[in-house]
């Protein structure tokens, strides 16, 4: 029998304790923060630790309530109803993770409203049915706050239906540990990568839409661990994904070359 390694997640604050309380009380939870700060990894870790089945829906601008709730499909001469991921999770008591929920179409938000208050029920309009959520059903969503261009806002009336926890780039010591655990890289290189990450994060004048995430640093560490030259790994995994402006990219490459 092959053993599956447990999911690695390094806690940054009190998020594990908060999640456990939300699970007991079945309070919907909103994880706020930029991409690559470990939100999805955290949810996977919690699902494993609570022994819950996890369904993740990565929301985008075309995601509609039909995608979540379900639809009729034609099968031969018949029309059959197929439950969507939300309905499956509600019926079976799974953990449903709506990643980047603000990106979805407004009808998705309307659909989850009755699940996020005392009613804990889902109205399936196409069937004219109301489904009571299974006692174990838990809703978790993530959201990238709107201080960056290109990301949608979440209405206050929706936000107030969730307990919310902020995710941000971890403290250097913790981020170094994440890089080592995730990739097996030497401490010395992990420290240099984290220094580069923090240096670029502090260059707010560059006006980057998104800055260096832990994910990008993990990618660079993986490439280095796999034998790619350090500077090249930083160029392609950390700097190129950040900007398409040649001058910015060159300046960041020059800066990082001095640091690794």
Q: Identify which of residues 87 and 213 has a Cβ nearer to ligand ADP in the complex.
A: 213
Q: Identify which of residues 35 and 256 has a Cβ nearer to ligand ADP in the complex.
A: 35
Considering only residues 115, 124, 138, 178, which one is a binding residue for ligand ADP as defined by CB under 6 A?
Answer: 178
The answer to whether residue 57 forms part of the interface with ligand ADP (CB under 6 A) is no
**Which residues from 189-228 bind ligand ADP, rule CB under 6 A?**
214-215, 218
How far apart are the C-alpha atoms of 65 and 76, rounded to whole Å?
25
Region of 4-12, 56-64, 196-204, 236-244 interacting with ligand ADP (CB under 6 A): 4-12
Q: Identify which of residues 36 and 197 has a Cβ nearer to ligand ADP in the complex.
A: 36
Q: Identify which of residues 14 and 80 has a Cβ nearer to ligand ADP in the complex.
A: 14
Q: Whole-number minimum distance, CB 216 to ligand ADP, in Å?
A: 9
- Measured in Å, how far apart are the chain's first and last C-alpha atoms? 42
Q: Which regions of 133-216 does DSSP assign to beta strands (E)?
A: 138-143, 163-166
The answer to whether residue 94 forms part of the interface with ligand ADP (CB under 6 A) is no
How far apart are the C-alpha atoms of 17 and 22, rounded to whole Å?
9
Q: Whole-number minimum distance, CB 222 to ligand ADP, in Å?
A: 9
Q: HSE, CB side, 13 Å, CA atoms: give it for residue 132.
A: 3
Instruction: Identify the CA nearest to 33 among candidates 49, 12, 57, 16.
Output: 12
The answer to whether residue 182 forms part of the interface with ligand ADP (CB under 6 A) is yes
66: its two tokens: 């039909």
CA dihedral 84, 89, 92, 94 (to 10 degrees): 150
How far apart are the C-alpha atoms of 44 and 54, rounded to whole Å?
7
How far apart are the C-alpha atoms of 260 and 256, rounded to whole Å?
6
Region of 6-14, 101-109, 150-158, 252-260 interacting with ligand ADP (CB under 6 A): 6-14
* x/- letters, 22..51, toward ligand ADP (CB under 6 A): -------------xxxxxxx----------
Please check whether residue 73 is in contact with residue 79, taking contact to mean a CB–CB distance below 8 angstroms: yes
Q: Identify which of residues 131 and 200 has a Cβ nearer to ligand ADP in the complex.
A: 200
Write down the residue that tokens 């109205």 correspond to: 123
Q: Identify which of residues 140 and 239 has a Cβ nearer to ligand ADP in the complex.
A: 140
* Chain contacts with ligand ADP (rule: CB under 6 A): 8-10, 12, 35-41, 178, 182, 214-215, 218
């Amino acid at each position: 029998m092959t053993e599956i390694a447990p999911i690695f997640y390094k806690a940054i604050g009190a998020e594990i304790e908060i999640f456990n309380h939300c699970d007991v009380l079945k309070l919907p939870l909103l994880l706020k923060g930029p991409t690559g700060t470990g939100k999805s990894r955290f949810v996977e870790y919690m699902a494993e630790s609570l022994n819950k089945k996890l369904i993740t829906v990565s929301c985008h601008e075309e995601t509609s309530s039909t995608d979540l709730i379900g639809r009729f499909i034609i099968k031969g001469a018949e029309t059959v109803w197929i439950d969507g991921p939300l309905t499956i999770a509600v019926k079976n008591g799974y953990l449903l993770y709506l990643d980047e929920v603000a990106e979805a179409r407004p009808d998705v938000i309307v659909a989850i409203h009755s699940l996020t208050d005392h009613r804990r029920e889902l109205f399936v309009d196409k069937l004219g049915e109301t489904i009571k959520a299974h006692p174990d059903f838990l809703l978790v969503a993530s959201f990238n706050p709107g201080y960056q261009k290109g990301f949608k806002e979440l209405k206050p009336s929706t936000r107030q239906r969730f307990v919310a926890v902020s995710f941000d780039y971890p403290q250097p010591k913790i981020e170094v540990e994440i890089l080592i655990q995730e990739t097996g890289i030497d401490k010395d290189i992990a420290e240099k990568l984290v220094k580069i990450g923090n240096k670029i994060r502090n260059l707010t004048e560059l006006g980057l839409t998104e800055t260096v995430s832990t994910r990008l640093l993990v990618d660079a560490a993986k490439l280095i661990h796999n034998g790619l030259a350090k500077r090249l790994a930083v160029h392609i995994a950390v700097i190129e994904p950040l900007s398409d402006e040649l001058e910015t990219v060159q300046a960041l490459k020059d800066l990082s070359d001095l640091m690794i």
